Amino acid sequence: MPELSKGPAQTVAGPPGTPVQVQGRWRQLSLLGGTMLVDSTEASLVSSLFPLIRQSLGVSLGALGILTAASKIVGVFTGPFWVWAAQRWSRKSVLVVATGLWGLWGVAAGFSQNFTQLVILYTILAAGYAAANPIITELIGDLFGSSSRGRAIGFVYGAISLVGAVIGPLKGQLAGVDEGWRWGLWGIGGFNILLGIALLIWFRDPGRGASEQQLADLDRTSREAVSKLSWDKAFSLLRIRSLVILLVSRLLSGHLLVGTFAVVFLVDVYGFSTQRASLIILPFGVGYFLGTLLGGFAVDRVSRRNPRSGPVAVLQAAQFAFAVLAYFGTQFRYDSILVFGALFALIGAAQGMNPGINRPMVMAITPPELRGAAFALYASIAEAIAWAGYSLGAGFLADAVGLRVVFLWVLVVLMLVNGLFLTLLYRTYAVDTARIQEELDTRRRDVLADPR
């Protein structure tokens, strides 16, 4: 019979029904959050400083759509590759290389002499960063049990947004520096390399299934023996109805456009300067931070009280709230940037609720070994296609009909459609979560019954 976890193992399982505690989970989470923070900051740098890039390299607004689309499309291919590599070697080594040392490409992008060079180097940079979302989210699922995943993800995405909000106006001030966008890429790329070294030294992978009640007290070898990924298992993801619905919903997530075009929207539509328009990044980030905390706590709470439909209702409400707030925040002219700041704070809060809700929902309907592949589908493919499509389309449509019209259809109308579409989850989510719990129960019985 396999031995139970003991000694310096990283999981502490209490009596049946009590939450599993992975030792050092918050310390490990801080390292993972720091990595995602730098990756997302570098990814948003180009969009927030695009007015400078446009002036420096002599390109049109459509170039922003090309940059964003290229960086997202490449993740469709490299995201699943990094998940495979993490299964083949280790999640830690992939993160060290792909999201840490890969910052060298960010430094190189800062030396671009024309738009073609910037597109190529920025796309290569994004190819590595595509590893962060699926692998780190998978790791969070192994560090935290089902009763605390919402809060953990909320803290990570909230901290990323909050720090990014503080950095945002600082990035905007690079507009006053000659070729300031280059200094931004150099600085963040260098800091990312340092974080890669920190991951190499201090990060400890708890192993797949470490936070599952049924598997936590098994030794790591036994846990991972029953959690090996195969092609059959990977393709079985598409048979999970709730996951397919969430994937389609991600394709309908027009709110992804805000992070790319918010600053240039205020510059082009309402005539603010780049430095003044970039000031909304702070309230938007603070709102997003509060939204992630609210979403995380809400999904943990409703999952305990009403696990069958509670998370679905909270996710659906977030889409409707975003659409209403986006209408008032983008379709009316306000003379003061402070009014826009207040409205974008509320928009950020509605958008920020999503990660703390949808990520735990994906975890709840997939077994441990498939979560990385599920998040590759969800973030690296579906989200990337949506982001690329909206960014590329918005960039060119804005040249023809204006960003205000684009925002109306994508941020308001499409998000209302998204909220209505999520109604389908009421028929599938409870069934899919129950199936996963039954599968984990079976695995535990099989492992403990093995006489070897």
Q: Where are the domains of the chain?
A: 23-208+236-441
145: left (phi over 0), alpha (psi -120 to 50) or beta: beta
CB 112 within 8 A of CB 118: yes
Whether residue 304 is predicted with pLDDT greater than 90 in this model: the reply is no
> What is the reported pLDDT for 2?
41
Query: Taking residues 423-443, what's their average pLDDT?
Result: 90
> What is the reported pLDDT for 313?
95
CB burial of residue 299 (10 Å; 0-12, 13-18, 19+): buried
Domain covering 23-208+236-441, topology: Growth Hormone; Chain: A; (1.20.1250)
Q: Using CA atoms, how far apart are residues 175 and 188, in angstroms rounded to an integer?
A: 16
Whether residue 139 is predicted with pLDDT greater than 80 in this model: the reply is yes
Q: What is the pLDDT of residues 66-117, one digit of tens each?
A: 887 787 788 888 888 888 898 888 899 999 998 888 889 888 988 888 888 9
Query: Taking residues 127-152, what's their average pLDDT?
Result: 85
> What is the reported pLDDT for 9?
37
DSSP 8-class letter at 218: B
Most confident of 7-21, 34-48, 322-336: 322-336
> What is the reported pLDDT for 7?
36
Whether residue 361 is predicted with pLDDT greater than 90 in this model: the reply is yes
Residue 361: closest CA among 374, 349, 380, 376: 374
Q: What is the pLDDT of residues 245-291, one digit of tens each?
A: 999 999 998 887 887 788 888 888 888 887 788 888 788 888 988 99
- Specify the range with the lowest mean pLDDT, choosing from 186-195, 222-231, 314-323, 420-429: 222-231
Q: Which residue has the higher pLDDT, 425 or 446?
A: 425
- Specify the range with the lowest mean pLDDT, choosing from 128-132, 184-188, 207-211, 315-319: 207-211
Calculate the average pLDDT of the chain: 82
Task: Give the whole-number percent of the chain exceeding pLDDT 90.
Answer: 23
**Chain centre distance of CA 117:** 27
Q: Using CA atoms, how far apart are residues 381 and 383, in angstroms rounded to an integer?
A: 6
Query: Taking residues 339-343, what's their average pLDDT?
Result: 93
Q: Which residue has the higher pLDDT, 368 or 46?
A: 368
- Hey, is 212 helix, strand or coil? coil
> What is the reported pLDDT for 17?
52
CB 398 within 8 A of CB 330: no
> What is the reported pLDDT for 248?
95
Whether residue 352 is predicted with pLDDT greater than 80 in this model: the reply is yes
Q: Label residues 414-439 b or e (16+ Cβ within 10 Å = b).
A: bbbebbebbebbeebbbebbeebeee
Q: Using CA atoms, how far apart are residues 17 and 38, in angstroms rounded to an integer?
A: 37
Residue 391: closest CA among 75, 109, 82: 75
Phi, psi of 417 (to 5 degrees): -60, -40
Q: What is the pLDDT of residues 146-196, one digit of tens each?
A: 778 888 888 888 877 777 667 666 666 666 677 777 887 888 788 888 888
Query: Taking residues 405-427, what's their average pLDDT?
Result: 94
Task: Give the whole-number percent of the chain exceeding pLDDT 70.
Answer: 86
Whether residue 3 is predicted with pLDDT greater than 60 in this model: the reply is no
CB 10 within 8 A of CB 22: yes
Angle between helices 149-173 and 337-364 (to 10 degrees): 150
